[in-house]
Amino acid sequence: MSLHTTISDVTDRILERSDARRSKYISHMRAAAAEGPRRAHLTCGNQAHAYAAMGEDQQTLAETPAPNLGIVTAYNDMLSAHQPFESYPAILKEAAKAAGGTAQVAGGVPAMCDGVTQGQTGMELSLFSRDVIALAAGIGLSHNTFDAAAYLGVCDKIVPGLIIAAATFGYIPGIFVPAGPMQSGLPNDEKARVRNEFAEGKVDRAALMKAEMASYHSAGTCTFYGTANSNQMLMEFMGLHLPGSSFVNPGTELRDALTREAATRALAITALGNDYRPVCDILDAKAFVNGIVGLMATGGSTNLVLHLPAMARAAGVDLRLEDFDAISSVVPLMAKVYPNGLADVNHFHAAGGLPYMIGRLLDAGLLHEDVKTVAGDSLGLHAQEPALDGGALIFRDGAKDSANDKILRPAHDPFQASGGLKQLKGNLGHGMMKVSAVDPARHVIEAPARVFESQDAVKDAFKAGEFTSDLVIVVRFQGPKANGMPELHGLTPALSVTQQRGINVALVTDGRMSGASGKVPSCIHVSPEAAAGGPLSRIQDGDIIRVDATNGTLECLTEGALDRAPATPDLSHNGNGVGRELFDVFRQTVGTADTGAGVVV
């Protein structure tokens, strides 16, 4: 089928506005590629240092043109999703050697767990960690000894940070290697029920802890469809994963076979061979449009609305919020995965998963097929799924039909006719709402404001029984300049319970709510932020706010409210404790949320 006109038009607009930036970027990448193999530019002393610990591979590295794979790893034991990466370097090195090449760990990057830091001071470093990850990966690759790179990362800020680095080193090929989700544990709806009951004081902390441990119980990605799993979807839609590899569980033979194949494929697409596929050629405007399509069709994380513009800037592509909104208007919601539904990502994968979705979206003309990927010259290759045949890895056609239409539906019979995100604009600025989980009856909320400057203050008001009538909760001074833009996921139980009590409630904030933002209408990432003098800084309790996801508007209806002087709270306490001192320069120089809240891009 021919490409949908809206997808084509949005792509053309992105290409036009990106022309100068992209041309400059590609010029730099072509110049770097023209210098030839990386190791050829090192002196004998440089090379001796680089190969000193490589044992029997020293001679191969020093005396042959065999390709060398640089491994950038986010392994640590703190993240269940990243713990499986402990064994990956050995697997990748063995596979590289079998393919006639070599592999070295170029460096490690930090990877914090937002699940551990939710509601804690450390969450204020979370978004900035993306830029630190990009910098750390850049340092590892700066040794200039690598012909390709394998990026080991899964979770929230890790994949976007690695993409920024991969784009910066875009003259070498790169492949992203996932670890896969943990096996299904306590159902997500049951976990949410216990959380809400704890918020209401109906169960004790022991019951809450039991439910949480039964949900997050083993190595692998958390099984709800938050930012981590949205990242994995994104890498597949953008052509940087091997086909169908995102949601294969860790510790399985198929997972190990895919890891070995990642090394083999990465070495096959270097400039030393006949199928050179540098990252700069994969990360083009069409790839980013395909990624946004995948985000909308799956009802993915709102965090990617922050990350994708920053990732794109690193590749010379200029994405804007209107691109997300326009694509969302024509891309159907084909998946229902928690918090948008009851299923987890394992159920989604079993129902047909990403190969099914890519195939059906291509059939509907909603994806660019003519793109380069790590697998070849067509996104159609990513409608395949991996399997083992007598122990050998093969790729076969993915499912043509959904195995469970309560989880996964075709594009012509979706759960919703439009995608999961909506841009809201008005006199309060502009932000985004994840509408895929919100009942359409709640898409318009008009009510008096209650203004808070921390999520703890909201929770205290809830516990005090103050939310007894319709209201719009405004949580401000939570943007990147104010305190690093922490996720406010801790608000979800209080907001959910308030809504369940029959009260119309909406959230408006210049902060984030993560990929698990729930069923309460939440206009997030509002820009300009309050700390930069944005309109939210002028709102007071009782002002009438209209949050309208139907018409895409965010308005204060109280006459004269926005003529007030902005509130100027003392934010100095945001600059110390748990490492916040180290990030003062980030808070001072960070970009706006609508451009990706970037520091290094």
* Digit-coded pLDDT (tens) for 304-314: 999 999 999 99
Question: Which residues lie closer than 8 Å to 343 by C-beta, 6 or more apart?
Answer: 336, 337, 351, 404, 406, 407
Q: Check residues 441 and 203 and name the one with the higher pLDDT.
A: 441
Per-residue confidence (pLDDT) for residue 206, from 0 to 100:
85
Taking phi first (over 0 means left), then psi (-120 to 50 degrees means alpha), and beta for anything else, what does residue 164 get?
alpha
Task: Using pLDDT thresholds of 50, 70 and 90, give the confidence band for residue 514.
Answer: low
Most confident region among 32-46, 193-207, 232-246 by mean pLDDT: 232-246
Strands (E), 141-190: 148-152, 174-177
The pLDDT tens digits of the residues spanning 480-498 come to 999 999 999 889 889 999 9
Residue 62 Cα distances to 65, 266, 270, angstroms = 8, 20, 18
Sign of the C-alpha dihedral, residues 115, 310, 300, 303? positive
Q: Check residues 438 and 95 and name the one with the higher pLDDT.
A: 95
Binding residues for [4Fe-4S] cluster: 155, 222
Per-residue confidence (pLDDT) for residue 396, from 0 to 100:
96
Per-residue confidence (pLDDT) for residue 579, from 0 to 100:
94
Pull the structure tokens for residue 14.
């992105």
Task: Give the helix ranges, DSSP H, for 5-147.
Answer: 5-34, 44-51, 58-63, 88-98, 114-117, 126-141
Cis? peptide before 386, omega within 30° of 0: no
Q: What percent of the chain has pLDDT over 90?
A: 81
Residue 474 Cα distances to 114, 442, 457, 489, 524, angstroms = 23, 17, 11, 15, 10
Residues 210 and 355: beta-carbon distance below 8 Å: no
* Statement: residue 516 has pLDDT above 60: no
3-state secondary structure of 416: strand
Per-residue confidence (pLDDT) for residue 198, from 0 to 100:
79
Taking phi first (over 0 means left), then psi (-120 to 50 degrees means alpha), and beta for anything else, what does residue 485 get?
left
Per-residue confidence (pLDDT) for residue 180, from 0 to 100:
95
Taking phi first (over 0 means left), then psi (-120 to 50 degrees means alpha), and beta for anything else, what does residue 254 get?
alpha
Pairing of the two strands 174-177 and 384-389? unpaired
Q: How many CB atoms are located within 10 Å of the residue 9 CB? A: 12
Nearest to 408 by CA among 247, 558, 589: 247
* Statement: residue 186 has pLDDT above 70: yes
Per-residue confidence (pLDDT) for residue 518, from 0 to 100:
67
The pLDDT tens digits of the residues spanning 202-219 come to 888 888 778 777 777 789
Binding residues: 155, 222
Taking the C-alpha atoms of residue 137 and residue 176, their distance in angstroms, rounded to an integer, is 13
Residues 169 and 464: beta-carbon distance below 8 Å: no
Question: Which residues lie closer than 8 Å to 43 by C-beta, 6 or more apart?
Answer: none
Residue type at 145 in one-letter notation: T
Task: Using pLDDT thresholds of 50, 70 and 90, give the confidence band for residue 517.
Answer: low
Per-residue confidence (pLDDT) for residue 205, from 0 to 100:
81
Sheet holding 174-177, edge to edge: 102-108, 68-73, 148-152, 174-177
Residues 303 and 309: beta-carbon distance below 8 Å: no
- Mean residue pLDDT across the chain: 94
* Statement: residue 356 has pLDDT above 80: yes
* Statement: residue 515 has pLDDT above 60: no
Task: Using pLDDT thresholds of 50, 70 and 90, give the confidence band for residue 322.
Answer: very high
Q: For 421-595, which CATH class? A: alpha beta
Per-residue confidence (pLDDT) for residue 586, from 0 to 100:
97
Residues 123 and 112: beta-carbon distance below 8 Å: no
Average of pLDDT values for 155-168?
Answer: 97
Per-residue confidence (pLDDT) for residue 340, from 0 to 100:
82
Task: Give the helix ranges, DSSP H, for 353-510.
Answer: 353-363, 455-463, 480-483, 492-500
Average of pLDDT values for 403-420?
Answer: 93
Least reliable range by pLDDT among 89-103, 240-254, 512-526: 512-526
Residue 358 Cα distances to 48, 361, 495, angstroms = 46, 5, 35
Instruction: Report the alpha-carbon angle 279-139-590, nearest 5.
Output: 85
Contacts 24+ apart (CB under 8 A), 90-96: 91/256, 91/259, 91/260, 91/263, 92/150, 92/177, 92/259, 92/260, 92/262, 92/263, 93/263, 94/260, 95/259, 95/260, 95/261, 95/262, 95/263, 95/264, 96/69, 96/263, 96/264, 96/267
Pairing of the two strands 392-397 and 174-177? unpaired
Average of pLDDT values for 29-53?
Answer: 89
Question: Which residues lie closer than 8 Å to 140 by C-beta, 6 or more apart?
Answer: 70, 72, 106, 107, 108, 109
Residue with tokens 């833009």: 485
- Torsion angle in degrees (nearest 10) through CA of 186, 192, 194, 199: 160
Per-residue confidence (pLDDT) for residue 601, from 0 to 100:
95
Q: Check residues 207 and 539 and name the one with the higher pLDDT.
A: 539
Per-residue confidence (pLDDT) for residue 29, from 0 to 100:
98
Average of pLDDT values for 282-309?
Answer: 95
Least reliable range by pLDDT among 127-136, 157-166, 566-575: 566-575
* Statement: residue 254 has pLDDT above 90: yes
Taking the C-alpha atoms of residue 547 and residue 598, their distance in angstroms, rounded to an integer, is 27
Q: What percent of the chain has pLDDT over 70?
A: 99
**Domain limits, CATH 3.50.30.80, in the chain:** 421-595
Per-residue confidence (pLDDT) for residue 119, from 0 to 100:
83
Rg (CA), the chain: 24
Instruction: Kindly state the DSSP code that residue 125 receives in the 8-state scheme.
Output: G
Residue with tokens 């986010």: 74
Pull the structure tokens for residue 525.
């990432």
The pLDDT tens digits of the residues spanning 92-112 come to 999 999 999 999 999 999 999
Pull the structure tokens for residue 411.
């594009």
Least reliable range by pLDDT among 9-23, 114-128, 156-170: 114-128
3-state secondary structure of 360: helix
Average of pLDDT values for 272-293?
Answer: 97
Structural element, H or E, at residue 429: strand 429-434
Per-residue confidence (pLDDT) for residue 419, from 0 to 100:
84
* Statement: residue 42 has pLDDT above 90: no
* Statement: residue 272 has pLDDT above 90: yes
